[in-house]
Structure 1
Amino acid sequence: MTLYLPETNCLLQSEVSLAPFTSLRVGGTAQWYVAPKNSEQLQETLQWAQQEQLPITFLGAGSNLLISDRGLSGIVISARYFRNLDINEEAATITASAGMPLATVAWKAAKRGWSGLEWAVGIPGTVGGSVVMNAGAHGACMSETLTQVVVATDNGNLETLTPEALAFRYRTSNLQNHPRWVMEATFQLQPSYSPEKITTKTRANLNQRRHSQPYDKPSCGSVFRNPQEQAAGWLIEQTGLKGYQVGGAQVAHRHANFILNQGQATAQDIYNVIQHVQEKVEQQWSVFLRPEVKLLGEFSN
């Protein structure tokens, strides 16, 4: 079933499979799916969802999500068309739309000799999702270079927020718990470097991730947040869980904080591996591993 919203002719589709839109390649269908092409279509979509009293889920690259096999009720809004970049050469700032890959922004900065996003080149997500979860790597994170964020509220209104208003902490922000969705983010970079130096550092960070993390099978990146005591991957490895498998879901041999879709895995398979890892690590180390991946929909325990 398809539906066109009257003011902007925005196309809504029902019962769309979400698996192709996630890096794990699993998940059921969306009750409604839409990919607005501009802010007017987004605003009308949000107003329609509010009128119909439908829950709203925003979808970027789908790289940090595990969506239930049962799918999602309500409306799933894709940010795939929101990929604009505004680069201010004098101020050394980059403003990027929510759907822009974060790695693209990192390379744009590096090639100008602007420091501040060298760590982000290996992050597989979009700007919007990276802001929401305060993504980070190599000892740095989003909140360190962010100067402002434009968000949409559930009725389609736009608000400009400072980083202080987002209450950033390790791998989280208050955007995870409030009905607001990132539209664009502005980064302040440091321009007093040569392009060769920053490009070399950026490429080294990317190579390090490629050599230490598995990229040959679908995954969602790091599954668990690192507890203060020790890295999650180390705890999982020392518990002897590398290679542990349920159905088509397996704890990676190369990096134990990754769960791979070995082919034909279901979301429930992956969820079962997550629960098993949490149980065994807590039994051996008295540490409960909190998921970094966002779980959406209903799963069976």
Structure 2
Amino acid sequence: MSLDPRLNAFRDDLADRRLEGKVKAKRFVEGEPARCIAPVADLRAGRGDDTAIGSQLLLGEPVLVFERYDGWTWVQSERDGYVGYVEETALGAVDPAPTHIVCAARTFAYGQPELRTKPVRTLSLGSEVTVTEEIEERGNRYFRLSTGEAIFHRHLAPLGAPLAEDYVTIAESLLGTPYLWGGVSAFGIDCSGLVQLSLRLAGKSVPRDSDMQAQIGIELQEERLLKRGDLIFWKGHVGIMADEETLLHGSGHAMAVVKEPLAEAVKRIGDVYGGVTARRRV
């Protein structure tokens, strides 16, 4: 059985040493641990900004690096196994390990713990940071990070605990987020990215792409059985049921995360891409 190149690092000239004996390559190497240090980094199909975005890395995400060449790295995410090329400047050391996760849709990281100062950068829901101390300034509490930045304390949560039991609540916090093919952040997200991010923050790890996600959970044979939290699939698309009649999804038609009546979505998507291919309960 052939290996999925999205989830296995192999080329004719180079491959992950763990795949030795499973694929042919001129050279096999050990992956070098690294971590994403950019707010968001595009994971591309090849070197260069003109290549397609397959997915993205969020701040703090661990990766294995198999190659560094001409300002680009060939990596595999240790979070979901996705393989691609990312700019070398987006990666840094694995230490210190993250301690907290961004629990707001978006938050500012300030150069000092003061809301009237200019933010240094903006971080997305799901980003992971290392907190070193807690500071109070003019009645507001902030967490100081290992980078020296400060973030409002209510926008961070301890790493490891689910942010919500109902993952749909997390997905709903991203309503209005622009649609971005390959996106996984609150700055831009696609249909399967919305499913993966919201489930991860609720403590459930799922694959990256919609065809992979169509294998999780249990299959539902009839539309009348759908309820909040169920997933509905088309060829190349996935949506989340907000209730028995409403679909929540990253919509390329609306170019945003939206809610709409399921019946309308089924008709519109069906006219272009065909009918529903699967219904799954996570």
TM-score (norm 2): 0.27
Q: Which structure has greater strand proportion? A: 2
Q: Which structure has greater helix proportion? A: 1
User: Which structure exhibits the higher relative contact order, with contacts defined as CA atoms closer than 8 Å and separated by 6 or more residues?
Assistant: 1
TM-score (norm 1): 0.26
